[in-house]
Structure 1
């Protein structure tokens, strides 16, 4: 936890030291554990998750109050043995991962809709602006060094659309010596992984290079009951094969006046997506799609510059190139392609944060802008005709300011105000939409009640603008456009109690929270000329409240026990006819119990239980279906086998969903059943 704030002004040397610490740590702060339990927890520093106070994009100044962030260090991530991003976030309190009907593995924070939370890598958003989502199953976990998760109104540095939290990821590596990491693994359904990464210090530069290759034949299933119309159920889900190749490179420069880092990642994939196999194709209209080409390249620049004794400038810039081809087939045999859609997206964005330390407070001026152009071409493969390319463009601008006010030696507050604006100057020939603008505001107050107890209260007002796809996309004729869509406005608040008792090797946290969302975006079925089509529309609004609780106990120097519990209640406002619409695919509760044992030799074994409460979904005919609860058990291990000059060779393995439990976050699209993987890796010291 943080120590009580100090009121002295900071010098340029303080700024430079803080910037270097931010870059070296990837933005994850050093105050995760109270000094009172540091001795007992030394052996567990590489084997625990916890609350932290710093995120990458929104850096903490000495007097800034920020929402507590749930942080995963490089060692925490290593314990999970993740292959892709989804495995990093599974079994994290208040975080849900769901694969939607487009085959995208998307993230939800505290029951949010998947577009209401944003994901940043090295300060740049990775969601494709056309759709406002990112497929986390295609991002290799080997790039990640630290993760910070804010499940509340995000600081205004994150700009518009981050209404119900952010995930802030750092890929930064630092060392004075050459480092190398490599691994190879095999797993269920002929999956295999090959990857390697090196870090090379060259003078004042730090260079990183990495590559990854992954392939699988299918996704395992626990039972054919939820997917009776999948013909390949015994051999894994039909059309869930995947091949991907990824590259990563970065260069960091550190000087007394500041730091700069340039990073680039490139992901090229070919994948199938599971059809909603609870729908009888003879009666309904399941989606039979493949993505023969999915390609993303993203380049990010991040810098911190000391402009004077009390002034600093943080700079972020990014460019994303995204291309995707969707091929639609006539039936589950995937033998006859019928339609094809080719998408191309080009996105440019940037952020400037100018901060100044006055005698008794700190101010920040923040400006961010992002412009994205989406070009779409549709082809009727049966008739061999191609439409004229359609072009869409969206521009997001956010301008705001924040002030940090140290109220006393133990209390500090930060207050922010911003103006967000979205415009769509190109609409693909659809009716032009007027620009939309709204105010955003927020406040956080942190009270260091004692050396053991920290209380942080936050309140924020945020806006999510409809994406270009929500406004104009018809998904190969599956969607009916709604020109009257309005933005969502969310009022979000929470209070976090974080306690680290001086006499016990224990961390406890408790967070009650609430949300109020006006004009909640949802979907409905609309019949036009006898054909049922989906349409997005605005509910009047919705309310939500819940509670999170977490505990980490260092039972011995080797054994760490964890328990996380999450409960929420979300309800839509009643419609004019008195009915209450259902909010779909939002589990009522989540429970994690885990034990982690570290051997003196450097090996590690982790066992965990993850329970998911019930939720609701919509049947094809518009009726409501209840999604049952599920409890899955996972075991993971790694063990050293040989020490070398470059690091330690380890064998590792994981057995997930041991009992082959059906986990059903969405009708017709169950999560994977029992899976295994076994590998060998070289881990640098």
Structure 2
């Protein structure tokens, strides 16, 4: 069993057809919650360059969302160092432009459009799907660079349970349990997990600095506890009704800055609360033989506390930069989708969405400042099968954002000040051509004009007194071009290649000295992103597989070259070698190289680095196995952002149990 569970991304069928079932023969059908997927109708194939199964995620011991996504070409793992937030960039676009969904439900934070991916563990997922450039119109607004959808699990047998428990460097431990059952027309899926760590070890090459004199990273603790539940009802072969709930409670430290940039002020921050809850209902109802209606309704909350202290004792709050800040946000919304197959060789989908974001913030002893945004999207997407192997897919949607309320507290007068009304409309259009040349070779080409509304923070934030709010900010827009090939040569070699380009207009950029020593965000920029993705997987001989992917991306600020785009290296390489032997053992070695990248818009850089990781697995008895590994084997001293060093050599041991 363990050998099957530990198969890697090279499978025995086309890379374009890669799926969970090809990695684990124990599950007779996919354990993916298909109702939670957001796909273009008629395109059921899954491209392994844009999809991660839970088997692959566990294979490479990726415990949080950011590190898991880093396995894919075109995706770059980054760190918002001053906030200790793990994020990713997709072909150069950040998380405001590539939003995150869980089972198609948006989960990004209302205030700034981001989420901290380090708080999202992978333990209860079935797969992660990434759309790049061309994404389904049914995602709605703000998918300027694509979309990321986390798809949960669904049981496939009468009773199934799996879990993991382990320890790792930095006084860390993890555990998770997933259990589910399918009983006739009903099923349930439950999950619980915890990922806790006191610190992480720095490389022996790190030179002690002020605020970092010990070999373990200061103020780098984390504790993430998560529970999830899903109950489903299948009254017949076509219909399904599901209620899902996710509750995650997190807290984290914020390691201090230890770099050489005099412009960056060291922060002494802790996040005692980073809590998120999601309650949603998803349904699929057939109307006759050729029509169906799919709905999503959701209520999502985000409660956050951020404390700034005087110094590294993290006990006193007496200085001017000390504060206690609180967020109490919620989002409520839903969408309805009508699909018709009445016309032969044609699938038509109509979709309407509404989303209400409420952001409420205040510092200690200050009144609550409310912000309310309403977003509506109306879209149509059509899949026309020209021939059995050739499909054309146009789509269009119209998006409206209305800033209903925005208030700012004036500490001098102790009054709440109303901002001017903020409204904006945006149109997204796209067309894709998908051609299966043969059973083993496919080409897809697409052009997509996508937009991203300015966030509440973009429009209203004073940036600690350094900025002038701009309620009139309009949407950014990008025209994304993509040409991709996936194929297989023989039964052992799969490969993929992509060329992509994005022409971006009305970029929201900082314009300095709009007033003396104060900047403002304005739609002042044009940019060009372009690059390529290449990859292969090879079954060299029985039990031994190798694979690699490469990403090149160039980002040009055409309006103001002096303002640098940050956090994305020009070159990224990922590779692995995977060997299974004795019917119960497996050894995996992986390598990742990133070239240098900018850490600040004014040119501060962090250097290139190459990491080597390893893992060994042994099946002990039937459904029980043990895994152990070493990350950063050569103890490299490296950073994703200047002044915030990452972990040096570190170890983990995990006990695994699977019963299907």
Q: TM-score, normalised by structure 1?
A: 0.85
In 2, are the aligned partners of 1:60 and 1:66 still within 8 Å (CA)? Answer: no
Deviations 1:212-240 (A, max 9, x none): 122211133336759843334x3322211
1:553 counterpart residue number? 538
Q: Residue 69 of structure 1 contacts residue 151 of structure 1 at CA under 8 Å; is this kept in 2?
A: no
User: What secondary structure does 2:457 align onto?
Assistant: helix
Q: 1:653 maps to which residue?
A: 628
Deviations 1:265-318 (A, max 9, x none): 11111211123322678x752222111111111122222211112111121222
Alignment of 1:282-321 (within 5 A): 285-321=265-301
Q: Tell me if the contact between 1:573 and 1:580 (Cα under 8 Å) persists in the aligned partners.
A: no
For residues 97-132 of structure 1, the C-alpha deviation after alignment (integer angstroms, 9 at most, x for no partner) is 222021211121112123211121111122112221
Q: Which residue of 2 aligns with 1:669?
A: 644
Does residue 273 in structure 1 map to residue 254 in structure 2?
yes
Q: What displacement does 1:182 show? A: 2.2
What is the CA–CA distance in structure 2 between the aligned matches of 1:514 and 1:523, rounded to whole Å? 24
Corresponding residue pairs, total: 626
| Structure 2 match to 1:23 | none
Aligned to 1:342: 326
Contact map agreement 2:67 2:77 (CA 8 A) in 1: no
CA RMSD of aligned residues (A): 2.9
Correspondent of 2:508 among 512, 521, 539: 521
Is the alpha carbon distance of 1:480 and 1:274 closer, same or farther for their aligned partners in structure 2, counting shifts above 3 Å?
Answer: farther
On the 8 A contact 1:229/1:280 being kept in 2, the answer is no
Structure 1 position 445 matched with structure 2 position 433 = yes
CA contact (8 A) 1:279 1:286 kept: no
Distance change (3 Å), C-alpha of 1:675 and 1:154: same
Q: Per the alignment, in what secondary structure is the counterpart of residue 123 of structure 2?
A: helix
Instruction: Please tell me whether the aligned partners of residues 639 and 651 of structure 1 are also in contact (alpha carbons under 8 angstroms).
Output: yes
Q: Of the candidates 201, 205, 208, which is equivalent to residue 189 of structure 2?
A: 208
Residue 585 in structure 1 maps to residue 564 in structure 2 = no
Out of 21, 41, 63, the residue aligned to residue 83 of structure 1 is: 63
Mapped partners of 2:72, 2:219: distance in 1 = 29
**Change over 3 Å in CA distance of 1:119–1:226 after alignment to 2:** farther
- Supply the distance in 2 between the matched residues of 1:525 and 1:275 (Cα, whole angstroms): 28
Aligned mate of 1:396, from 375, 378, 381: 375
The whole-number CA distance in structure 2 between the counterparts of 1:555 and 1:77 is 22
Alignment check: 8 A CA contact 1:404 1:413 kept: yes
Contact kept, 8 Å, 2:527 with 2:557, in 1: the verdict is yes
Task: Tell me the alpha carbon deviations over residues 179-227 of structure 1, each in whole angstroms, 9 at most, x when there is no partner.
Answer: 1122221111101112222112334221122211222111333367598
Segments of structure 1 that go 5 or more residues without pairing to the other structure are: 1-30, 47-51, 380-385
Q: In the TM superposition, what is the alpha-carbon distance from 1:438 to its structure 2 partner?
A: 1.2
Q: Which runs of 5 or more structure 2 residues have no equivalent in the other structure?
A: 1-10, 27-31, 408-416
Q: Once the two structures are superposed, what CA deviation does each residue of 1:574-625 show, in whole Å capped at 9, x if it has no partner?
A: 34xxx5432122210100111122335344321101000121232xxx7412
Structure 2: how far apart are the matches of 1:116 and 1:226? 37
> Structure 2 CA distance, aligned partners of 1:360 and 1:199?
37
Q: Following the alignment from structure 1 to structure 2, what is the Cα–Cα distance between the partners of residues 592 and 360?
A: 40
Structure that is richer in strand per residue: 2
* CA distance, structure 2, for counterparts of residue 189 and residue 404 of structure 1: 51
SS at match of 1:309: coil
- Residue 384 of structure 2 corresponds to 405
Partner of 2:227: helix, strand, or coil?
A: strand
Residue number in structure 2 paired with 1:573: 558
User: Counterparts of 1:164-243 in structure 2 under 5 Å?
Assistant: 164-222=145-203, 228-232=209-213, 234-243=214-223
Match of 1:157, SS state, is: helix
Partner of 2:654: 679
Out of 516-525 and 417-426, give the one that drifted further: 516-525
Q: Is the 8 A contact 2:564 2:602 kept in 1?
A: no
> Counterpart of 1:678 in 2: which secondary structure?
strand
What do residues 530-585 of structure 1 show as CA deviations (whole Å, max 9, x unaligned)? Answer: xx77754444210011000010111123112111011011101134xxx5432122
Alpha-carbon distance in 1 for matches of 2:191, 2:154: 12
In structure 1, distance between residues paired with 2:479 and 2:40: 23
Distance between the aligned counterparts of 1:497 and 1:567, measured in 2?
16
Asked whether the 8 Å contact 1:369–1:396 carries over to 2, the reply is yes
Cα distance, 1:280–1:589 mapped onto 2, change above 3 Å: closer
Q: CA deviation at 1:33?
A: 2.8
